Amino acid sequence: MAELFRQMKLFTPIFAGIDSTGTQKNMNTLLNEYAFQQEFGNGNLGDDLSIMDASYSSPLGIVRGIHGMDFSGSKKATYLLSLRLLLENKMMSWPKEITGLRSQLTNYDPEKDVGIRSKIPQDLVATKAMAAFAMRMWFHVSPEDLFSETVAMDNQAPEKARRLSRQARSKRNPAGRG
């Protein structure tokens, strides 16, 4: 909790969210009712202080409270779709050295991720998916915009989409095969 608030003070994000799945269901409410007010309360912290009085300024306005994001139930599909859209359109990336993230993303199967007792590793997938949803929500990234930008890029650079001749392929291949 202390690290979360330290990062919030350092970076002043436009959205602050935490995982509120399962046993963490109401953690954001507890954080907002006590800790957020203590860290970001403006003025005297009396008993009558409400969450609306506690806030900080971000680049896009005032942030009041921490939002809970539940990776179970009906929101899970929306979170995963948001992540897929951003990944497929190369709007989200990470260094190749972070192999655990790539492993979880490539091995993740939503059908196997059922219930609290699911044994598949999903923490990194869930975090990325919830972050992708928040990005789409705050920056209004729509699937139609992504599709039109992809089509425009493909139409502008047809030479990158065509297959090279056998001779050109053999020049780049160290074994000399095409």
pLDDT in tens, 46-62: 555 455 567 788 888 88
Comparing C-alpha atoms, which of 148, 141, 178, 142 is closest to residue 163? 178
In whole angstroms, give the CA distance from residue 83 to residue 150. 17
Question: Which residues neighbour 153 within 8 Å (Cβ) at sequence distance 6 or greater?
Answer: none
Amino acid 151: pLDDT: 58
| Amino acid type, 106 | T
Mapped to the 3 state alphabet, what secondary structure does the chain carry?
CHHHHHHHHHHCCCCCEEECCHHHCCHHHHHHHHHHHHHHECCCCCCCCCCCCECEEECCEEECCCEEECCCCCHHHHHHHHHHHHHHCCCCCCCCCCHHHHHHHHHCCCCCCCCCCCCCCCHHHHHHHHHHHHHHHHHCCCHHHHHHHHHHHHHHCHHHCCCCCHHHHHHHCCCCCC
Amino acid 75: pLDDT: 87
Question: Which residues neighbour 116 within 8 Å (Cβ) at sequence distance 6 or greater?
Answer: 22
Break the chain into its structural domains and give their ranges.
2-69, 75-160
Lowest mean pLDDT among 4-8, 61-65, 141-145, 171-175: 171-175
Amino acid 64: pLDDT: 81
Q: Are 31 and 18 in contact (CB under 8 A)?
A: yes
State pTM to two decimals. 0.65
Could you give phi then psi for residue 160, rounded to 5 degrees? -80, -20
In whole angstroms, give the CA distance from residue 103 to residue 135. 23
Amino acid 133: pLDDT: 92
Check whether 92 has a pLDDT greater than 60: yes
pLDDT in tens, 107-153: 888 777 766 556 666 788 888 999 999 988 887 766 676 666 655 55
User: Binning pLDDT at 50, 70 and 90, where does residue 79 land?
Assistant: very high
> How is residue 62 written in tokens?
């005032």
Amino acid 130: pLDDT: 92
